[in-house]
Amino acid sequence: MSFFLLFLLFRQQSLEIFRSFRLLKVLLFVVEFGCFENGLWFNMGKQSKSDLRYAIVRLLRNAKRAFLDLFSLQLEGKYFRHKLRYKGKLVKLSPAIKEVAEEIKREGVCVRHFEKLGLENFSSIIEAAQSLKNEHKTVVGMGEYFDLMTDVTQRVTDFEIAKLCPEVFLFGLKKELLALAENVVGVPPSYLGCEMRKDLGSKEFGVRLFHRDFEDLGLLKICIYLSDVNEETPAFEFLPFSEEKALAGGRCLAASSPLVASKAKRCEGPAGTVVFAWTNEVIHRASVMSSTSKERYTLWYVYGSRYVRHQETVMAVTKEETRRLMDPFLSDQQRGYLNWF
């Protein structure tokens, strides 16, 4: 009994500490913002400002990062406990989808042609997306989305897809795909929307550097090739878990390691190839286009765990206007996957 009481006391004290961290995080942001506003932050090349002031602001920034790391650890603890409690409640999968889930968990990525998945109406969704791809120049919303620096990808957002091809957006709420996402992330997933992309970037930075996604603790992304992908086109590239373990003894290799590129695999295939990627766990990138590369069009569906590190990044995927537009087409259960926050 005394041990149990000590445990409850320790748990309560831990909660109080985290609440204090939350307040301190806000205070640090306010102080840091004040330093920016009052001109205390300056360029390293300029010598007109005090080195002491620069050091203070750097200290504040580093302290804020430390507190954010503590909150991330708290979030990971909640996610881990939820997965343990939910393990016996995961939705059963069809044989074909179960194979996909097992390969994702084994290697981080699974590649299949859509015909092998046994999903009803998949071919009509491919055709609808192809039609949208062929008419992309006339789509009002098909603008330029700027990644880091000057890298550019043309995109049709989920809102424009919902307006022009609602069946393409709704396909992401198909029960087989939601069940797959649930089995990969380990908890009831959120549907974060879809978008169509045309690769234009020709420089190696941003998403064209090897990385893991960080905005959610559990992310499954489904990439459908709408054009043939071969050695003449950019492709989705990843480092399989088995290769990572061979290189680092476990899944702990830094994405920036020079060893990654030598062991990475390219996902090639004809139009209709589907790439399933556990992107918060597997090291991956979109390969760089050369001057002779052919265009690559892809359709993306994104699912999360509802344990979000960066709310702004995730909420930008499926916007409120998209949810309002699609609401008449949704069942109560489907609304739960969109209106989870």
The domains of the chain are located at 2-87, 91-338
Q: What is the mean pLDDT of the chain?
A: 77
Q: What is the mean pLDDT of residues 113-138?
A: 86
Q: What is the mean pLDDT of residues 273-301?
A: 87
> In degrees, to the nearest 5, what angle opens at C-alpha 267 toward C-alphas 264 and 270?
160
56 or 211: which leads in pLDDT: 211
Q: Is 261 helix (H, G, I), strand (E, B) or coil?
A: helix
pLDDT tens track for 58-76: 566 556 555 555 666 778 8
Q: What is the pLDDT of residue 159?
A: 87
Q: Are 167 and 131 in contact (CB under 8 A)?
A: no
- CA dist list (Å): 50 to 32, 53, 60, 152, 315: 16, 5, 16, 39, 40
* 102 pLDDT tier (thresholds 50, 70, 90): very high
- Beta bridge partners of residue 304, listed in sequence order: 190, 219
> What percent of the chain lies above the pLDDT cut of 90?
40
Q: Are 288 and 264 in contact (CB under 8 A)?
A: no
Q: Are 87 and 185 in contact (CB under 8 A)?
A: no
Q: Is 7 helix (H, G, I), strand (E, B) or coil?
A: helix
Asked if the model's pLDDT at residue 50 lies above 80, the reply is no
Q: What is the pLDDT of residue 95?
A: 95
* 318 pLDDT tier (thresholds 50, 70, 90): low
Which helix (H) or strand (E) segment holds residue 18: the answer is helix 2-37
The secondary structure of residue 26, as a DSSP letter, is H
Longest CA–CA span in the chain (Å) reads: 72
- The CATH number given to 91-338 is 2.60.120.620
